[in-house]
Amino acid sequence: MNDIEARDFIRKIIYDDLESGKHDEIVTRFPPEPNGYLHIGHVMAICLDFGVAAETGGRTFLRLDDTNPGKESPEFVQAIKDDVHWLGFDWGDRLTHASDYFDRLHESAITLIEKGVAYVDSLTAEEIREYRGTLTEPGKNSPYRDRSVEENLDLFRRMYEGEFGDGKHVLRAKIDMASPNMNMRDPAIYRIRHIPHQNAGDNWCIYPMYDYAHGLSDAYEGITHSLCTLEFEDHRPLYDWFLDQLEPEHRPRQIEFSRLNLAYTITSKRKLKGLVDEGIVSGWDDPRMPTISGMRRRGYPPAALREFVKRAGVTKKDKLIEMGALETCVRDVLGDTAARRMAVLRPLKVVLTNYPEDQVESMEAMNHPGNPDFGTRELPFSRELWIEQDDFMEEAPRKFFRLKPGGEVRLRFGYIIRCDEVIKDDGGNVVELRCSYDPETRSGTGTSDRKVKGTIHWVSCQHAVDAEVRLYDRLFNEANPNTADDAHSVLNPASLEIVNAKLEPSLADLAEAVQFERLGYFCPDSQDDAAGARVINRIVTLRDSWAKLEKQALQGQAR
């Protein structure tokens, strides 16, 4: 497949526009509202908006669509900028706000009134809803729809000057109350809100509606292609109506694509905010959240998210993508870039009874078995070791090739050991294994040709580093929690498990993602670990244990 055949439908439109001479330069924008943190769905939009412009030598604006001051804050603005930068994109000097254009938008609203296509309505919000009609019944005109231009100009001026309280009046477009498209039934353009604005301060008490401000902001910035998700398809006639009426110097084109929906997550900002407010998660950056900040804190590499979007593709059809597809991208990136280390998550003590009590050996260990450029490190080996509880089974099945009474196993980079005795507490729980080692079987010496089928990892008790390790899993146990009557009912009670782990000494100053051999990929928690505690997050397991279950669930959704 050549490059042209591989283009998605949006890129085909854009490249056709360049080749035809319709545009000399492609200009896009990423326009989030700063009313929450960005999530996995936004990653698609970010990569598309910035990506197509970069590919063609164009430009991208990062525009904060801040037209709703009651829900927006500087915290969300900063989080958006941090997330876009972390993903690898830069807007240069093109950081803008819808509020930067409030004066021009206000002047354009006056122009609409003067043209007789906008009016001040004095119905209450409830009355406006009643007059709007339904999907099967047309709406009816407001009794204030035929106010004169002079009266509308006077009322709008008084709205601007702060004479009226919230909800007393609203400026509406005069289009068609019988339109089959509900968005065209005299939509609101301005409403009164006596609320300070996060960027404009106390300068305004009337604020433009999103549908009005968005298209005109695109025009002011010279946007060539305004890329939106499919829910804005029905808004496109309104987008074009404002441009038709006001005839700006530049006319952008809106194109819609499907949202990126990820299984076992929700992406509604309102619902995500609810999880935060109710304390179900620790915050917007909780590593279980589908927010970009949450995925960053968990340890997902930005390259993995960009690759995930590339594999998902840009289409016009809504789709629910398996969580495993994202985790595969994470594994693919970390598999090449993460050094290997040893850690024991659920420790079980092993005492080598025939090993000298005061002896400590240094074992040479590879930092990456697939890349010798990573070099090696030294691991201390002593008489008392920690191994994983799961690597021992007292009554083991025939094909259990780890440690069992009388059985042998190789310690990675170490010796072959045999389990001679099992020590239990008063409750019958295994608390210690007494083992013997074969001194002729040290790895890398070539002094013995003995072979055993199992190899396990370990950490020297004397040299181990203690750490709190957080094992994260899916936040929901339903593939599409958005379809549940109550999202709380499908929360996964096992989405977080905390264990007190034992780490090899080189992990005392862990600063980046590594693979804990046989266990998964891990990284220091950017918040709690930075505060002085030794806290490590599991990024992803080595294998997708959910694959079969997830495939069945998504097939059920499709049916």
Prediction pTM value = 0.91
Q: What span, in angstroms and rounded, lies between the C-alpha atoms of 499 and 298?
A: 16
pLDDT on residue 550:
45
> Given 132, 259, 273, 418, which residue is catalytic?
259
- For residues 409 and 493, state if they share a domain: no
CATH code assigned at 485: 1.10.1160.10
> Given 147, 191, 269, 538, which residue is catalytic?
269
Nearest to 189 by CA among 98, 121, 115: 121
pLDDT on residue 532:
73
pLDDT on residue 545:
57
Q: What's the one-letter identity of residue 443?
A: S
How, if at all, do strands 361-366 and 376-381 pair?
Answer: antiparallel
- For residues 315 and 449, state if they share a domain: no
Q: What span, in angstroms and rounded, lies between the C-alpha atoms of 296 and 345?
A: 23
Alpha-carbon torsion, ordered 308, 336, 390, 346, to 10 deg:
-90
- For residues 191 and 204, state if they share a domain: yes
- For residues 201 and 282, state if they share a domain: no
- Tell me, yes or no, if 269 is annotated catalytic: yes
| Tokens (6 digits) for 171 | 């400026």
Residue 482 falls inside a structural domain: yes
- For residues 319 and 205, state if they share a domain: no
Cα 251 to chain centroid distance, Å, stands at 32
Which one of 206, 231, 257 terminates a domain?
Answer: 257
Q: Could you tell me if 425 and 416 are in contact, meaning their C-beta atoms sit under 8 angstroms apart?
A: no
- For residues 122 and 193, state if they share a domain: yes
CATH code assigned at 67: 3.40.50.620
CATH code assigned at 427: 2.40.240.10
Residue 12 falls inside a structural domain: yes
| Tokens (6 digits) for 516 | 């804990």
pLDDT along the chain (559 residues), means of 10: 69 96 97 96 96 96 96 95 97 97 98 98 97 96 98 98 97 98 98 95 96 98 97 97 97 96 92 93 96 97 97 91 95 96 98 96 95 96 98 92 95 96 95 96 81 95 97 94 84 96 95 96 87 89 64 47
- Tell me, yes or no, if 278 is annotated catalytic: no
- Which stretches within 20-139 are classed as H helix? 40-55, 74-86, 102-114, 125-132
- For residues 419 and 476, state if they share a domain: no
For residue 287, give every residue at least 6 positions away whose Cβ sits within 8 Å of its Cβ, in sequence order, or none.
294, 295, 297, 298, 299, 470, 472, 525, 537
- For residues 348 and 325, state if they share a domain: no
| Tokens (6 digits) for 250 | 């530049």
- Tell me, yes or no, if 247 is annotated catalytic: no
| Tokens (6 digits) for 127 | 């009355």
Residue 430 falls inside a structural domain: yes
Residue 230 falls inside a structural domain: yes
Residue 462 falls inside a structural domain: no
Total of domains in the chain: 3
- For residues 229 and 84, state if they share a domain: yes
Task: Please classify residue 516 by burial: count the beta carbons closer than 10 Å to its beta carbon, then call 0-12 exposed, 13-18 middle and 19+ buried.
Answer: buried
Q: Which domain holds residue 426?
A: 343-457
Which one of 397, 425, 457 terminates a domain?
Answer: 457
Task: Give the containing element (helix H, strand E) for 160.
Answer: helix 149-160
Which one of 430, 457, 484 terminates a domain?
Answer: 457
- For residues 63 and 159, state if they share a domain: yes
Residue 125 falls inside a structural domain: yes
> Given 33, 233, 361, 432, which residue is catalytic?
33
Task: Give the containing element (helix H, strand E) for 151.
Answer: helix 149-160
pLDDT on residue 239:
98
Q: Could you tell me if 175 and 187 are in contact, meaning their C-beta atoms sit under 8 angstroms apart?
A: yes
Task: Give the containing element (helix H, strand E) for 14.
Answer: helix 9-19
Count of C-beta atoms within a 10 Å radius of residue 495: 19
Q: How far is CA 401 from CA 39, 393, 408, 415, 449, in A?
A: 43, 10, 8, 16, 18
Q: Could you tell me if 172 and 216 are in contact, meaning their C-beta atoms sit under 8 angstroms apart?
A: no
Sequential DSSP letters for 413-427: TS-EEEEEEEEE-TT
- For residues 126 and 210, state if they share a domain: yes
- For residues 245 and 134, state if they share a domain: yes
